């Protein structure tokens, strides 16, 4: 009898076929894991879960007595209640080292889009408003030779710095828990205090992981410290930003604009105030969403799952203490 695996929001047929050869796989997409009866029933016998953004908390774990591993198809794993999983001896894995360049492309892309007003001016053309030479009210702002401030100089932050430094001759400031000497050497990045970065940057790019320390790291005080000509870019997690404070900063012209790939609640509702500003570029958490990168992540998620279920140490174990 094959061991039961649940695939949650995991839509890659190439990797699912590989799993089906060895396991009994049940697929669940776009369901509420708190209430879906088929999912709740399947949890009772599941030994592994692979997928994206499933809230793995005490409530779910109490219903999954046979669970041995949860393989996240993402770099982040804040959806996993690690303490609860450790109590039960359940492994958790993620898929790092795959999406960094792709995400850096996307975040620098929305930075460019906000600065050059690309979505707004795209609609300007498509709705027939382009009838004469542009006037000052349609002008955008330059990116080259400006100052890029990066909060969180990890792998993705470093690659954003690379794009800014080599592609646009930007000066790079960064704030991080520890100094990134490699980024300083390669991209002339300058280690800065948090407040100095906010005050001196033309683009403030937030790339921190979500932790208790970084939740709402950008709030009313921080937006007021930014230049009125600056653009705020969030490629981290929605809860790193106080959205009410951001809305107020945009409403009162405390900052020039914003580019957001993440929101506190996703999918963002259609009537969300942030969607009403023409100077805010929004994308639906697309950082890693290319065919090539998502397939690489899916394959790695499956490899982690298979290792955990066959007595091997998964390559990307996020709670190694569970093996002690």
What is the β-pairing status of strands 171-175 and 231-234?
unpaired
Give the 3-state secondary structure of residue 163.
helix
Residue among 14, 215, 266, 292 flagged as catalytic: 266
What is the C-alpha separation between 226 and 229, in angstroms, rounded? 8
Residue among 237, 294, 303, 306 flagged as catalytic: 237
CB 228 within 8 Å of CB 254:
yes
Give the 3-state secondary structure of residue 203.
strand
Query: Has 116 been annotated as catalytic?
Result: no
Query: Has 285 been annotated as catalytic?
Result: yes
DSSP 44: T
The structure tokens 């007003």 sit at 117
The alpha carbons of the chain give a radius of gyration, in whole angstroms, of 22
| Residue 46, beta-bridge partner list | 4
What is the C-alpha separation between 177 and 154, in angstroms, rounded? 10
CB 261 within 8 Å of CB 234:
yes
Give the 3-state secondary structure of residue 156.
helix
Upstream peptide bond of 49 is cis (omega within 30 degrees of 0): no
What is the C-alpha separation between 58 and 45, in angstroms, rounded? 17
Phi-psi region of 122 (alpha: psi -120 to 50; beta: other; left: phi over 0): alpha
Residue among 47, 222, 285, 306 flagged as catalytic: 285
Query: Has 237 been annotated as catalytic?
Result: yes
CB 323 within 8 Å of CB 111:
no
Give the number of other Cβ atoms within 10 Å of residue 255's Cβ: 20
What is the C-alpha separation between 36 and 40, in angstroms, rounded? 6
Active site residues: 237, 266, 285
């Amino acid at each position: 009898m094959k061991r039961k695996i649940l695939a949650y929001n995991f839509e890659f047929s190439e990797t699912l076929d590989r799993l089906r050869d060895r396991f009994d796989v049940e697929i669940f997409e776009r369901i509420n894991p708190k209430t879906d009866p088929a999912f709740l029933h399947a949890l009772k016998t599941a030994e592994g879960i692979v997928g994206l953004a499933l809230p793995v908390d005490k409530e779910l774990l109490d219903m999954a007595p046979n669970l041995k591993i949860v393989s996240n198809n993402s770099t982040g794993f804040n959806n996993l209640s690690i303490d609860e999983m450790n109590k039960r001896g359940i492994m958790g894995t993620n898929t790092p080292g795959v999406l960094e360049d792709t995400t850096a492309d996307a975040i620098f892309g929305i930075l460019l889009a906000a600065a050059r007003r690309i979505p707004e001016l795209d609609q300007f053309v498509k709705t027939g408003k382009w009838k004469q030479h542009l006037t000052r009210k349609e002008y955008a702002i330059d990116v080259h030779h400006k100052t890029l401030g990066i909060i969180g100089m990890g792998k993705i932050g470093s690659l954003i710095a690379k794009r800014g430094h080599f592609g646009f001759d930007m000066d790079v400031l960064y704030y991080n828990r520890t100094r990134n000497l490699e980024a300083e050497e390669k991209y002339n990045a300058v280690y800065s205090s948090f407040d100095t970065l906010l005050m001196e940057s033309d683009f403030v790019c937030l790339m921190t992981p979500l932790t208790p320390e970084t939740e709402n790291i950008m709030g009313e005080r921080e937006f007021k410290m930014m230049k009125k000509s600056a653009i705020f870019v969030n490629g981290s997690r929605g809860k790193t930003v106080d959205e009410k404070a951001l809305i107020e900063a945009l409403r009162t012209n405390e900052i020039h604009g914003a580019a957001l790939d993440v929101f506190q609640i996703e999918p963002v509702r259609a009537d969300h105030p942030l969607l009403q500003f023409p100077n805010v570029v929004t994308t639906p958490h697309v950082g890693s969403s290319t065919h090539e990168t998502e397939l690489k992540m899916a394959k790695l998620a499956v490899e982690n799952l298979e290792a955990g279920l066959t007595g091997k140490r998964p390559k990307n174990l996020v709670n190694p203490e569970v093996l002690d």
